[in-house]
Amino acid sequence: MASNAKSNWKISEFVAHGSDVLCACLSPFTGRTLATGGEDKRVNLWLVGQPQNISSISGLSSPIECITFNGSESWLGAGSRSGSLKVFDLNENKVVRSISGHKSSISCLDFHRYGDILASGSMDTNIKLWDVRRKGCLYTYKGHSDVINGIQFSPDGKWLVSASSDNAVRLWDLNAGKCLKEFSTHSLPVNDIQFHPKELLLAAASSDRTISYWDLETLSLISTSPPEGFGIRKILFHSEANVIFSASQDCLRVHSWEPSLQLDYLSIPWGKTASMQLSGDQIVGVSYSSTMVSLWCIDFKKLKPWSHSEKKRDYQSVRQKFQYREEEIERPLTQPTGPPQEEEEEREVGECDESPPKELQSEDRQMLFKAREQLVRTPPKGKNFLPFQPPLVQTPPPEPRPHIPSFDINKPHPQDSYYGGPELERDINEAHSDVCSMLRNRLKLLQEVRSEWSLSEPKGALEVAVNSGDQSVIIDLLSILNLKRSLWSLDMAVLILPELRLLLKSKHERYLSCATFAIKLILKSFASVIISNIRHQTTPTAGQGIDLAREERLERCQISYSHLCQIREDLATPSPLLSRVVKESGLMETFSLLD
């Protein structure tokens, strides 16, 4: 683990939208610009480290589910729940393209390195390739059987890779117009994919807690990382050090792939990680929960293999490099050249095949995949940014507080009097007595849970939490129990399963995530025991004594099985929020252990 020296800190935390935040993305080149989309149908733009947004685009017709920058950070693509996508010109702060074609919510986007090409993945299981200049769909890629969780163009612009909740990764050849390879090594949904920025190497991160590495010359598996504690949400290559960073719910890890090793890890309670980018010798990460967005900074130079305690690795790659193209054409982004053209007929690409490549027949194919001129953006690309600084260990003494009038207009105070201290605390307690009472009660219950845990085993603490009837206390305790599988017992499963069924009806994403993880953990730990006892129950013969321990175990197994079957039935008709959480966790696949 990383040393105790300050190696990560929270840059800021703020309310980003008036309703739930659904997506967030850091700019790819500088990592200093943040875009967020929300349930309030707005797109907000922020500078990292500043509390106020620098731009806000409203008037959209549907919540924003995914968002991405182009390479020059001059355009922003946003996919909506209705299946339409919009492209924003960030210099002019306006929508320049509105395109529709998907039958369901758009889940991921990526801009091509060259030209005005945009790829979109959707919950309708299809991937579409768009010519943004003419608002036409070039191709529709079919083959996945579940939600598309991620797509990315290769650094040389010749391939497109897609990751899906069907546990598969597919590699598509853009010029040949077909699927080259399907990689199927994961047992749960694949959440993120990344091309190495230089080598012919592909990495895929999954909810099964592993990363798989693929050689793109031979299209063969190189290695798979050891399982982590939680499903991996995001990964990020460091091209010079030949390592990859992975972000899960509770930490950042550093991996190598030849051999497959975990080099270091750093505990970070960032939760739902949405994006990571390199910024000098630091990693900037963004996570969100409800209406809040948190920005984090990691000084990776204090982690292995950079730390002085670790001998530097002499890594020499044997793989070929991506071939970059440097051609540029001079034409503006927002004004297509030539007279208006009719939309090109959409082509469909299906299953992977070994047929001879069929060249793209578009007459201006070369124009589509060439670099266009770069636009000036804020912050500018050439600027040398100072690194983010960690907060001070000791907070300096506050400046003397000025004399201020009362915030209560019905309770006048002399203008020259000091308003603060006990008087201010009393007024706050009176104005928010209900909230203060609720927090005091919650603190008292948590103290009882802690006391019971110290006197007995976790089961006693769980009984206190369940008997309290306070879901927030149950969630606080589950957050601890979910970290260590060995803490659980079948008795605890019987006790908590009815509460988990109630928690799945919550409107809070944290409650849903914690409950689904606990159910998944119970299934993995006890499903085989439950099924074995139910299927092999026997009736004692005459004269044979009753095995009370066996009977009690059978009763617990039957109760657990009944509750789990009821939960599976409830999940057949989930709310939109619960549906997204369940798909991300891979819970439904785990229920197969009961069959």
**Mean of the pLDDT values across residues 151-155?**
94
Strand spans (E) along 134-290: 136-141, 148-153, 159-164, 169-173, 178-183, 190-195, 201-206, 211-215, 220-224, 234-238, 243-247, 251-257, 260-267, 273-279, 282-289
- Is residue 523 a contact partner of residue 593, using CB atoms and an 8 Å limit? yes
Q: What is the pLDDT of residue 308?
A: 55
For all residues of the chain together, what is the average pLDDT?
80
Q: What is the pLDDT of residue 348?
A: 64
pLDDT over threshold 90, residue 161: yes
Burial class (CB in 10 A: 0-12, 13-18, 19+), 229: middle
Count of other CB atoms within 10 angstroms of residue 540: 11
Q: What is the pLDDT of residue 374?
A: 39
Of residues 71 and 546, more confidence is placed in 71
**Mean of the pLDDT values across residues 560-585?**
88
Burial class (CB in 10 A: 0-12, 13-18, 19+), 340: exposed
What is the enclosing helix (H) or strand (E) of 33?
strand 33-38
Distance CA 5, CA 16 (A): 31
Tell me the whole-structure pTM to 2 decimals: 0.65
Q: What is the pLDDT of residue 513?
A: 87
Q: What is the pLDDT of residue 432?
A: 74
DSSP classification of residue 321: B
pLDDT over threshold 60, residue 282: yes
- Is residue 148 a contact partner of residue 125, using CB atoms and an 8 Å limit? yes
DSSP classification of residue 374: P
How many Å is the Cα radius of gyration of the chain?
A: 27
Token digits for 284? 């900037």
Which of 2-16, 173-187, 244-258 has the weakest average pLDDT?
2-16
**Mean of the pLDDT values across residues 109-135?**
89
**Mean of the pLDDT values across residues 141-157?**
92
Q: What is the pLDDT of residue 29?
A: 82
Q: What is the pLDDT of residue 249?
A: 85
pLDDT over threshold 50, residue 414: no
pLDDT over threshold 60, residue 330: no
Q: What is the pLDDT of residue 383?
A: 58
Contacts of 124 (CB under 8 A, 6+ apart): 83, 102, 103, 104
pLDDT over threshold 90, residue 153: yes
Count of other CB atoms within 10 angstroms of residue 387: 12
Length of the chain: 595
Which of 25-34, 193-202, 327-336, 400-409 has the weakest average pLDDT?
327-336
Instruction: Please name every residue paired with 224 in a beta bridge, in sequence order, or none if there are none.
Output: 212
Of residues 355 and 163, more confidence is placed in 163
Q: What is the pLDDT of residue 329?
A: 32
pLDDT over threshold 70, residue 421: no
pLDDT over threshold 60, residue 310: no
Token digits for 7? 């190696």
Contacts of 202 (CB under 8 A, 6+ apart): 161, 169, 171, 183, 193, 194, 195, 196, 213, 214, 216
Token digits for 309? 């305690």
Contacts of 434 (CB under 8 A, 6+ apart): none
Q: What is the pLDDT of residue 324?
A: 59
Q: What is the pLDDT of residue 594?
A: 86
Q: What is the pLDDT of residue 323?
A: 66
Q: Taking Cα atoms as reference points, which of 203, 281, 276 lies closest to residue 241?
A: 281
Instruction: Provide CATH 2.130.10.10 ranges for the chain.
Output: 8-302
| Class of domain 8-302 as given by CATH | mainly beta
Q: What is the pLDDT of residue 391?
A: 67
Q: What is the pLDDT of residue 333?
A: 36
Contacts of 593 (CB under 8 A, 6+ apart): 523, 524, 527, 528, 531
Token digits for 517? 């993880």
**Mean of the pLDDT values across residues 88-100?**
85
pLDDT over threshold 60, residue 515: yes
Measured in degrees and rounded to the nearest 5, phi and psi for residue 288 equal: -145, 155
Of residues 26 and 388, more confidence is placed in 26
At residue 91, the 3 state secondary structure works out as: coil
Strands 64-69, 75-80: parallel, antiparallel or unpaired by DSSP? antiparallel
Q: What is the pLDDT of residue 352?
A: 56
The pLDDT tens digits for 535-566 are 877 665 555 556 677 888 888 899 999 999 99
One-letter amino acid for residue 550 of the chain:
R
Which of 86-95, 429-438, 525-534 has the weakest average pLDDT?
429-438
Q: What is the pLDDT of residue 360?
A: 43
pLDDT over threshold 50, residue 445: yes
Q: What is the pLDDT of residue 371?
A: 42
Q: At what angle do helices 509-535 and 490-503 cross, to 10 degrees?
A: 140
Contacts of 36 (CB under 8 A, 6+ apart): 16, 17, 21, 23, 24, 25, 43, 44, 46, 67, 288, 293
pLDDT over threshold 70, residue 168: yes
The pLDDT tens digits for 348-401 are 665 554 343 344 444 444 444 444 443 334 455 555 667 777 765 544 554 554
Token digits for 260? 């497959």
